């Protein structure tokens, strides 16, 4: 335990736990609110994709809860079991959000392209960041600690780039659902609440990455 953990990491961790609890609560609440459209999420997603000119994007069911995602590598939109067949407001919002990512991919949305390009690099450097820093800390090697910090900075940048990607996908989701008449009025408010709660988890992930970086930066400074 060090002062950097208490100052930076602990508050970020509390925020992350709160954000996760909020999205789980919102998902449970709006999963019980049936949409007026009465269509399962996979059918709504298929319609949104078709209207967006993305008929080549496949839709698959995947196990788990809130495991929904769009994979640009094979143009596949994967919906979790609890979302796929559900006609709830929560399910429609989640499915439309993933369609939003598919649209981003199709139109070449710059932040998404940057994020996707960073993925393999960030996976490599983020795995090496802590080991390098800790080895440098133990051996009193400023060179290794600086490399660890530099690598960890890549993870921070990745999280920051992710934020506009997620918020833009949510905005596209609401616009598409409203534009095609799948939601209206209080349903639109509910979808907005659900997606905003989900977006907070990405804000929390960014805060956590930044907090860890600042903690390590503080430790590095104490070794000079």
pLDDT at site 224: 57
Is 98 a known active-site residue?
yes
Q: Which of 32, 65, 98, 178 is catalytic?
A: 98
Q: What is the mean pLDDT of each run of 10 residues along the chain (224 residues)?
A: 87 96 96 94 98 96 94 96 96 98 97 92 85 91 92 92 97 97 96 96 96 92 68
What is the pTM assigned to this prediction? 0.91
**Whose CA is closest to 207, among 42, 18, 74?**
18
pLDDT at site 125: 82
pLDDT at site 127: 84
> How many CB atoms are closer than 10 A to CB 125?
20
pLDDT at site 128: 87
pLDDT at site 192: 97
């Amino acid at each position: 335990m060090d002062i950097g953990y208490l100052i930076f990491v602990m508050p970020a961790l509390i925020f992350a736990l709160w954000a996760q609890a909020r999205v789980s609560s919102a998902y449970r609440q709006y999963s019980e609110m049936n949409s007026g459209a009465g269509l399962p999420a996979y059918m709504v997603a298929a319609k949104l994709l078709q209207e967006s000119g993305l008929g080549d994007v496949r839709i698959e069911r995947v196990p788990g809860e809130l495991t929904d995602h769009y994979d640009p590598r094979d143009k596949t939109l994967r919906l979790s079991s609890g979302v796929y067949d559900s006609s709830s407001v929560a399910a429609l919002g989640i499915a439309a959000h993933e369609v939003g990512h598919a649209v981003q991919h199709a139109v070449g949305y710059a932040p998404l392209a940057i994020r996707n390009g960073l993925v393999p690099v960030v996976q490599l450097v983020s795995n090496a960041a802590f080991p390098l820093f800790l080895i440098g800390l133990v051996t009193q090697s400023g060179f290794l600690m600086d490399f660890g910090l530099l690598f960890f900075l890549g993870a921070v940048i990745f999280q920051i780039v992710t934020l506009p990607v997620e918020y833009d996908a949510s905005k596209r989701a609401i616009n598409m659902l409203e534009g095609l008449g799948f939601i209206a009025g209080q349903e639109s408010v509910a979808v907005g609440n659900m997606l905003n709660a989900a977006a907070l988890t990405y804000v929390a992930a960014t805060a956590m990455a930044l907090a860890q970086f600042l903690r390590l930066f503080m430790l590095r400074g104490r070794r000079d």
